[in-house]
Structure 1
């Protein structure tokens, strides 16, 4: 009996040793990109300022806690004029709503290192539930989460007044992310 218990303990040791808990977001190695269409032309941009809280145990993803704050005035569209325009009240209204906030409400394992994430995304005081697949890649004390989701800018009042129509700037926005976390 002792021999079987010892063997089971030794066999499970590598599984326990490889499990890690990630608690810090490394913003300098992470990236949030967005993609949209303007007048039929594909456009891209990034947010350079974001931070957040994470508590992700790779052995039990169901107990994960993630909250990410994206500073809307950190937008980089590749054009200084466009950057200045998009933080105005008609678009992000960054003065009144400086951050977009994502809070995960559940993370479900779908396959090895593949998850379905559900959470609340709040932009300009408008909150919507979003769900998307995410992939985890673990290397020495580092977890890299990648994924993509789509949103409708109209659901968040991004583009008000003359910009509330979708003939010049499309309603569909795709967000790609790479979030790097450490222990």
Structure 2
């Protein structure tokens, strides 16, 4: 009798198709996420951040190539550490936030590199200019949340950030490093 029950349990278990319980991260926790930037002004490193952004995200670690993400950053939410700096940067020569209120990143292909590392190819749009970018990122599961971290360098001249006398790189460097830490919940 025991052997028959054991055989029946084993046959039932083998008849059920194996499936992994997929975890998909979709809801960004804004209070635990940030988008920062670093650049050099007159040879001195300056840090800043954006206070507001919206996003859509769909990431399943078991199917990373199917991942999708988009981020809309409110350029007027820039925080340079000084109110006068914030006002300068949202003006026409820099972000021209009145005419171009958001910067947008939309992912395309996601390439797994192993060890929770990925390359996310996509398009970055700032001031009406669109450039392809490849963003290296890591992913770490933390309970029901996941943390995405990474950074990439953009060249402000590619997006006309700093026009007129600011188009030169003698005072403000061309390279701007964008860093992010995005925390998302799974569904």
Q: TM-score, normalised by structure 2?
A: 0.89
Distance in 1 between residues matched to 2:65 and 2:16, nearest whole Å: 24
Match of 1:58 in 2: 61
Instruction: Report the Cα offset of residue 132 of structure 1.
Output: 2.1
Instruction: Output the CA distance in 1 between the equivalents of 2:164 and 2:139.
Output: 40
Greater than 2 Å deviation, 4+ residue runs? 2-10
Structure 2 CA distance for partners of 1:57 and 1:88, relative to 1, 3 Å: same
- 2:170 match: 167
Kindly indicate whether residue 32 of structure 2 is the aligned counterpart of residue 23 of structure 1.
no
Q: Of residues 144, 149, 159 in structure 2, which corresponds to 1:146? A: 149
Where structure 1 has 5 or more consecutive residues not aligned to the other structure, the ranges are none
2:34, 2:134 → 1: CA distance?
A: 19
Give the Cα separation in 2 of the matches to 1:130 and 1:31. 19
Distance 2:91 2:26 in 1: 34
Aligned to 1:77: 80
Q: 2:46 aligns with which of 43, 48, 51?
A: 43
Cα deviation per residue 1:13-35 (whole Å; 9 max; x = unaligned)? 6xx24x41111111111011100
Asked if residue 112 in structure 1 is aligned to residue 127 in structure 2, the reply is: no
Give the Cα–Cα distance (whole angstroms) in 2 for the partners of residues 58 and 178 of structure 1.
Answer: 17
The CA RMSD over aligned residues, in Å, is 2.0
Residue number in structure 2 paired with 1:32:
35
Aligned equivalent of 2:3: none
Q: Which has the larger radius of gyration?
A: 2
Residue in 1 aligned with 2:5? none
TM-score by length of 1: 0.91
Q: How many residues align?
A: 179
* Distance in 2, Cα, partners of 1:8 & 1:120: 45
Tell me the secondary structure at the aligned position of residue 62 of structure 1: helix
Q: What corresponds to 1:180 in structure 2? A: 183
Post-superposition shift, 1:149?
0.3
